[in-house]
A and B are shown apart, each in its own frame.
Chain A
Amino acid sequence: MLRNFSHKIWIIAAAVLSSLALTAYFTQKTHTSEQELPETVDYNFHIRPLLSDRCFACHGPDEKKRQAGLRLDTPEGAFAALGDKKDHFAIVPGHPEQSTLVQRIHAADPEERMPPAATHLNLTEYEKALLQRWIEQGAVYAPHWAFTPPVKAPLPKVRRNNWARNELDVFLLAKMEEKGLKPAPEAEKNRLLRRLCFDITGLPPTPQQMQQFLQDTRPDAYERMVDTLLASPAYGERMTMNWLDLARYSDTHGYQDDLPRIMWPWRDWVIQAFNTNMPYDQFVSWQLAGDLLPNATKAQILATGFNRNHKITQEGGVIDEEYRVEYVADRTNTFGKAFLGLTVECARCHDHKYDPIPTRDYYALSAFFNNVPEKGFVPNLQTPEPWMAITSADLGADLPFLNAQEAFKTPKDTLRLMVMAEQKGHGPRPTFILRRGQYDQHGDSVQASAPRAILPWDANLPANRLGLSQWLFDPKHPLTARVTVNRIWQEIFGRGIVATPDNFGMQGALPTHPELLDWLACDLQEHHWDLKRLIRQMVTSAAYRQSAEISADQLEKDPENKWLARGASYRWPYEFIRDQVLATSGLLIPQIGGPSVKPYQPPGLWEEISTEKTANAFRGEFSYVPDTSAAKMYRRSIYTYNKRTIPPPGHLIFDAPMRDLCTLTRTRTSTPLQALVLLNDRQVLEAARALAQFYLKNTPADQKETAISAAFERIVCRKPQSGEQKSLTAFYRQQEQHYRDQPSAARELLQQSGPYPIDTTLNPAETCALMLSIQILYNLDEVLSKT
Chain B
Amino acid sequence: MEKEQLDHFLHLNRRSFLAKTAIGIGSLALGSLLDACERGETEAVNALLPHFAPKAKRVIYLFQSGAPSQLELFDWKPKLREMHGQELPASVRQGQRLTGMTANQTNFPLIGSKIDFKQYGSNGAWVSDLMPHTAKIVDELCIIQTMHTEAINHDPAVTFFQTGNQQPGRPAIGSWMSYGLGSENSNLPAFIVLLSRGQGNIQPLASRVWGSAFLPSIHQGVQLRGGADPVLYLKDPAGLDSLSRRQMLDEIAHLNQKHLEAFGDPETGTRIAQYELSYRMQTAVPELMDISREPDQSFRMYGADAMVPGTFAANCLLARRLSERGVRFVQLYHMGWDAHTDVTGMTSRLAKDVDQASAALITDLKQRGMLEDTLVIWGGEFGRTNYGQGKITDNYGRDHHPRCFTIWMAGGGVKPGMVYGKTDEFGYNIEENPVHVHDFQATLMHLMGIDHERFTYLYQGRRFRLTDISGKVVQDIIS
Contact = CB atoms under 8 A, between A and B. Distances in A.
Contacts of A784: 271
B58 interface: no
Interface in A677-700: 677, 679-682, 685
Given A317-B101, A675-B275, A780-B256, A668 B168 contact: no
Interface in A718-740: 721, 723-724, 727-728, 731, 734-735, 738
Nearest to A649: B232
Contacts of A779: 252, 275
A646 B240 contact: no
B248 A776 contact: yes
Contacts of B238: 748-749, 751-752
A610 B204 contact: yes
Contacts of A671: 22-25, 217-218, 274
B240 A604 contact: no
B234 interface: yes
A40 B264 CA distance: 37
B399 to A, nearest CB: 8
B173 interface: no
A620 B97 CA distance: 28
B237 A609 contact: no
A134 to B, nearest CB: 19
Nearest to A676: B233
Contacts, number: 281
B232 A602 contact: yes
B240 A608 contact: no
A681 B229 CA distance: 12
A508 interface: yes
A110 interface: no
A506 B25 CA distance: 34
Contacts of A319: 97, 99-100, 152
Interface in B39-65: 41-42, 44-45, 47-48
Nearest to A561: B19
Interface string A658-674: 10110000011111111
A748 B239 CA distance: 5
Interface string B268-300: 101110110110011000000000000000000
A727 B208 contact: no
B154 interface: yes
Nearest to B264: A550
Interface string B432-462: 0000000000000000000001101000111
Greatest chain A CB density within 10 A among B204, B263, B275, B400 is at: B204
Contacts of B272: 781
Contacts of B282: 676
B45 A728 contact: no
Interface string B190-224: 00000100000011111110010000111010110
B249 to A, nearest CB: 8
Contact of A731 (B15, B195, B247, B460): B247
A120 B169 contact: no
B317 to A, nearest CB: 19
Given A610-B204, A727-B255, A674 B274 contact: yes
A320 B100 CA distance: 8
Given A317-B100, A779-B252, A781-B268, A672 B207 contact: no
Given A2-B37, A2-B47, A745-B241, A122 B42 contact: yes
**Category for how many chain A residues contact B:** 35 or more
A608 B251 contact: no
Contacts of B229: 602
B90 interface: no
A652 interface: yes
Nearest to B240: A749
Given A2-B33, A645-B207, A776-B255, A318 B239 contact: no
A346 interface: yes
B267 interface: yes
A156 interface: no
A226 B48 CA distance: 50
Nearest to A682: B237
Contacts of B169: 660-661
A677 B207 contact: no
Contact of B204 (A609, A680, A734): A609
A449 B101 CA distance: 38
Contacts of A366: none
A679 B263 CA distance: 24
A750 B217 contact: no
Contacts of A676: 231-234, 278, 281-282
Interface stretch (A169-177, A215-223, A551-559): A551-559
B463 to A, nearest CB: 9
A653 B274 CA distance: 13
Contacts of A753: 237
A669 B218 contact: yes
Contacts of A727: 251, 254-255
B116 interface: no
Contacts of B247: 731, 734-735
B225 interface: yes
Greatest chain B CB density within 10 A among A326, A552, A781 is at: A781
A343 B461 CA distance: 8
Nearest to B214: A667
Given A649-B232, A772-B248, A505 B461 contact: yes
A500 B252 contact: no
Contact of A258 (B204, B211, B222): B204
Contact of A555 (B15, B33, B41, B223): B15
B153 A317 contact: yes
B207 A680 contact: no
A398 interface: no
A377 B239 CA distance: 51
A570 interface: yes
Given A318-B100, A609-B207, A676-B234, A776 B45 contact: no
A476 interface: no
Nearest to A720: B255
A555 B399 CA distance: 61
Contacts of B99: 317-319
A109 B83 CA distance: 61
Contacts of A3: 48
B45 to A, nearest CB: 6
B244 interface: yes
A150 to B, nearest CB: 21
B155 interface: yes
9 contacts: A3-B48, A54-B42, A311-B168, A319-B99, A653-B232, A658-B208, A670-B270, A675-B277, A680-B233
A-B complex: 7 closest residue pairs judged by Cβ atoms = A507-B461, A749-B239, A748-B239, A645-B206, A317-B99, A672-B278, A670-B22
Given A2-B44, A731-B247, 15 more contacts: A5-B41, A5-B44, A256-B153, A258-B204, A608-B223, A611-B204, A646-B207, A670-B270, A675-B271, A676-B278, A680-B235, A749-B238, A752-B240, A781-B265, A785-B265
